[in-house]
Amino acid sequence: MNTTPFLAAVFALSAGAVAAQDAILTVSGADSATTYSHDDLMALPQHRVATTTSVTDGVVAFDGFLIRALLGDDLPDDAVVVATALNDYQVEIPVTDFARYDVIGALSMDGETLSPRDKGPIWIVYPRDDHPELQDIRYDTRWVWQLVSLQVQ
């Protein structure tokens, strides 16, 4: 089959099996694109968010990388990040969210690696319990699960 390694990884991912070194996330800007494997993302400084969610009982602990760590330093305040998931779900997120809040790309929940079956391998998680204004449907739509790309516009 004539597919790029990235697409091959996405297909493997949807089948439930992906190696730790396969590309699972693409971050792109106007003229660049960087891909990250699970190992790459685990090697970034890890940050914990303890929060309730719409799909779990009580408070759970998510660990992952800060989304802002993957974005450039001098993005204009009106920049948006288009987050795309494996099921083609897409939402625009203002970059100011990532400066204002410690939003993470969660790789595990309560110490268990997130798999594509339970919203993994990457789930955008907001520190909702720490900020009442985040307890709003506008933000719920930004909790993208099965995240595959972030495109800065």
Ligand X SMILES: Nc1nc2c(c(=O)[nH]1)N[C@H]1C(S)=C(S)[C@@H](COP(=O)(O)O)O[C@H]1N2
Q: How far apart are CA 74 and CA 22, in angstroms?
A: 29
CB of 17 to ligand X, least distance (A): 19
Binders of ligand X among residues 73 to 112 (CB under 6 A) are: 85, 87, 89
CB of 73 to ligand X, least distance (A): 27
End-to-end CA distance of the chain: 32
Tell me the H-state helices in 3-115.
5-14, 38-43, 96-100
Question: Which residues, in sequence order, are bridge partners of residue 113?
Answer: 108
Q: Is 141 in the site for ligand X (CB under 6 A)?
A: yes
CB of 31 to ligand X, least distance (A): 27
Pick the closest to residue 67 from 32, 108, 98 (CA basis).
Answer: 98
Q: How far apart are CA 79 and CA 82, in angstroms?
A: 10
Q: Is 18 in the site for ligand X (CB under 6 A)?
A: no
Q: Is 145 in the site for ligand X (CB under 6 A)?
A: yes
Q: Is 11 in the site for ligand X (CB under 6 A)?
A: no
Q: Is 27 in the site for ligand X (CB under 6 A)?
A: no
Question: Which residues, in sequence order, are bridge partners of residue 25?
Answer: 36
Nearer to ligand X, 57 or 74 (CB): 57
Applying CB under 6 A, the residues found at the interface with ligand X are: 54-55, 85, 87, 89, 140-141, 143-146
